[in-house]
């Protein structure tokens, strides 16, 4: 019985404010949680036992997979690292080797399949899925150097000397003691570096290398998004939307779906049951639409865009691509959107938003987020105490779940708003708003006499 373990016990501090209301691995990409994408691939590959090592808010994971008999959600609590989460989740393996994936990554089916291809009965060591660093800085990752299909070095956030980062593991029986015997500190670092006292699975791999053993590597065929910071949500959705929409070779209309003759469509559309594209709608690119969703009255939608169930997209609104719209959302009356909105978000009346909006968030009329700086540069961020400038989506705005804005609120590039917070009418927001906070303008009013005498009467 092939077994896989998905690591989903992290607290997600760096992705603030979006892991306040959900496990990080339950963040959506193309309207499906990251864990959902991985489980779909594993089931297709014939895995019969999928263990999810869960931490805070594990009940949400259990609820989501409650009808999937192959999934076993195990709460491992707050451990001191991924190696300890893995060891706590694995009670018994009846068939070695074991497939291990980080639950907060968007991975293609092809890459999971080629990693799983290492799982032959004779495989007793370690195999990895290695992702080329490309433009990424080696200092942002636990990296490895790959030569001739083998890992020759593993280093924690090094200054250089590595070629890839790691996105999944195959562990044989002989390698398992290196996981359970993890030292709890990442010692494979360069001089002057400061690793946390945390037990990483990658440290078990480094110890395995030091023992003179071999680590087999397969290189990722598709991009891999490790959702660790807010802008990675945008990256994961852009990629997942592309994969989903590229699969449309023609229009797909489910039961009761309808496209009005006045609609202009340049691309392919998938319409779910009971969904409708109405009068004077303009579609450019491929668009995937869920069930019972109405797109009507001059709405403009650019692909690759994914729209959920029971939504209303209408009245000359504009959706730029790539965008993701969750279930039960309303985008209405000249609203403009480019980015990701979770379930039950309302956008109305001449507002403009670029970024990520959490569940049940309501933006007041004429709320605007800045996307360009006066210096034409990118906003710098402080994430978990470290300042950095994202390569993508640095100037987007990021608003958590259960938030509101008043009319004419303005969010400058790169602002984040915490959960259960309010940005009041007329506020020009330049800094992050903590969780559970209302920000309002304090106005000074001046009173003086006025009347007909001012006009010569």
In this structure, which topology does domain 233-439 adopt according to CATH?
UDP N-Acetylglucosamine Acyltransferase; domain 1 (2.160.10)
DSSP notation for 117-156: TT--TT--SEEEEEEE-TTS-GGGSEEEEEETTEEEEEEE
CA distances (Å), origin 455, targets 450, 451, 452: 10, 8, 5
Q: What is the pLDDT of residue 375?
A: 86
- Specify the higher pLDDT residue, 121 or 202: 202
pLDDT digits (tens, 9 = 90+) for 243-271: 999 999 999 999 999 999 999 999 999 99
Question: Could you give the residue range(s) of every CATH 2.160.10.10 domain in the chain?
Answer: 233-439
Query: Is pLDDT above 70 for 310?
Result: yes
Tell me, what's the pLDDT at 447?
A: 94
pLDDT in tens, 20-54: 999 999 999 999 999 999 999 999 999 999 999 99
Is the pLDDT reported for residue 212 higher than 70? yes
Strands (E), 297-378: 300-302, 305-307, 312-314, 318-319, 323-325, 330-331, 336-341, 346-347, 352-357, 362-363, 368-369
Residue 316 pLDDT > 90, yes or no? yes
> pLDDT at position 78, please?
81
Helix axis angle, 82-89 to 201-210, nearest 10°: 100
Please compute, for residue 3, the number of CA atoms within 13 A of its CA located in the half-sphere on the CB side.
20
User: How many residues make up the chain in this entry?
Assistant: 457
Q: Using the predicted structure, report yes or no on whether residue 101 has a pLDDT greater than 70.
A: yes
Compute how many other C-beta atoms are within 10 angstroms of the C-beta atom of residue 242: 17
CA distances (Å), origin 203, targets 9, 200, 308, 356, 405 = 18, 5, 41, 34, 45
Residue with tokens 């907060």: 104
Q: How far apart are CA 208 and CA 192, in angstroms?
A: 24
Average pLDDT, whole number, for the chain?
A: 95
Helix (H, G, I), strand (E, B) or coil at 248: coil
Q: What is the pLDDT of residue 449?
A: 93
41-89, pLDDT tens digit by residue?
A: 999 999 999 999 999 999 999 999 999 999 999 999 888 899 999 999 9
What's the pLDDT at 385? Answer: 86
**222: confidence class by pLDDT, cuts 50, 70, 90:** very high
pLDDT at position 250, please? 94
User: What pLDDT score was predicted for residue 84?
Assistant: 94
**Residue 161 and residue 260: Cα distance in Å, rounded?**
58
Distance CA 440, CA 406 (A): 9
Q: Is 418 helix (H, G, I), strand (E, B) or coil?
A: coil
| Look-up of token digits 């997600």 | 12
Residue 376 pLDDT? 86
| CATH number for region 3-228 | 3.90.550.10
> Using 50, 70 and 90 to split pLDDT, how confident is the model at 413?
very high
**DSSP β-ladder status, 164-171 and 98-102:** antiparallel
CB atoms closer than 10 angstroms to residue 124: 14
Residue 401 has a pLDDT of 98
- Give the pLDDT of residue 372: 82
319 pairs with which residues across the strands? 301, 337
Report the predicted TM-score, pTM, of the whole model to 2 decimal places. Answer: 0.95
In the chain, where does the domain assigned CATH 3.90.550.10 lie? 3-228
Look at 51-65, 72-86, 335-349, 370-384 and tell me which has the smallest mean pLDDT.
370-384
Mean of pLDDT values over 449-455? 92
- Residue 1's pLDDT band, with cuts at 50, 70 and 90, is low
Over the stretch 165-182, which tens digit does the pLDDT of each residue have? 999 999 999 999 999 999
Q: How far apart are CA 87 and CA 406, in angstroms?
A: 48
Confidence of residue 370 (pLDDT cuts 50, 70, 90): confident
Query: What share of the chain in percent tops pLDDT 70?
Result: 100
Q: From the CA atom positions of the chain, what is the Rg in Å? A: 25
Helix axes 34-44, 109-116, angle to 10 degrees: 50
């Amino acid at each position: 019985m092939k077994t896989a373990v998905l690591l989903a016990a992290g607290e997600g501090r760096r992705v603030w404010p979006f892991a306040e209301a959900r496990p990080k691995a339950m963040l959506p990409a193309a309207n499906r949680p990251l864990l959902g994408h991985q489980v779909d691939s594993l089931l297709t590959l014939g895995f019969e036992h999928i263990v999810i090592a869960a931490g805070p808010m594990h009940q949400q994971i259990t609820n989501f997979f409650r009808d999937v008999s192959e999934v076993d959600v195990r709460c491992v609590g707050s451990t001191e690292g991924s190696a300890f989460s893995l060891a706590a989740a694995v009670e018994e393996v009846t068939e070695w080797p074991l497939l291990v994936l980080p639950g907060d990554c968007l991975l293609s089916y092809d890459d999971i399949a080629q990693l799983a291809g290492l799982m032959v009965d004779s495989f007793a060591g370690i195999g990895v899925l290695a992702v080329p660093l490309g433009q990424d800085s080696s200092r942002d990752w636990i990296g490895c150097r790959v030569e001739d299909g083998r890992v020759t070095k593993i280093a924690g956030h090094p200054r250089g000397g590595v070629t890839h980062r790691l996105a999944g593991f195959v562990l044989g029986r002989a390698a398992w003691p290196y996981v359970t015997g993890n030292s709890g500190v990442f010692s494979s670092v360069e001089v002057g570096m400061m690793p946390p006292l945390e037990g990483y699975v990658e440290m078990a791999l480094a110890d395995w290398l030091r023992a003179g053993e071999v680590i087999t590597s397969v290189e990722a065929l598709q991009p891999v998004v490790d959702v660790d910071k807010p802008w990675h949500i945008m990256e994961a959705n852009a990629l997942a939307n592309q994969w989903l929409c590229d699969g449309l070779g023609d229009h797909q209309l489910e039961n009761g779906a309808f496209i009005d003759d006045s609609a202009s469509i340049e691309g392919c559309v998938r319409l779910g049951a009971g969904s409708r594209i109405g009068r004077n709608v303009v579609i450019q690119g491929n668009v995937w639409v869920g069930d019972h969703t109405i797109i009507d009255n001059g709405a403009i939608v650019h692909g690759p865009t994914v729209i959920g169930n029971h939504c209303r997209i209408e009245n000359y609104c504009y959706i730029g691509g790539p965008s993701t719209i969750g279930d039960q959302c309303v985008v209405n009356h000249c609203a403009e959107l480019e980015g990701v909105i979770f379930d039950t978000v309302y956008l109305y009346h001449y507002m403009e938003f670029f970024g990520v909006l959490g569940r049940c968030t309501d933006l007041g009329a004429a709320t605007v987020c800045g996307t360009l700086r006066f210096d034409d540069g990118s906003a710098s961020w402080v994430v978990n105490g470290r300042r950095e400038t994202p390569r993508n989506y640095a100037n987007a705005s990021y608003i958590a779940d259960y938030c509101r804005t008043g009319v004419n609120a303005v969010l400058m590039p790169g602002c984040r708003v915490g959960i259960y917070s309010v940005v009041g009418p007329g506020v020009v927001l330049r800094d992050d708003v903590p969780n559970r906070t209302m920000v309002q303008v304090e106005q000074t009013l001046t009173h003086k006499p006025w009347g007909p005498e001012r006009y010569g009467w």
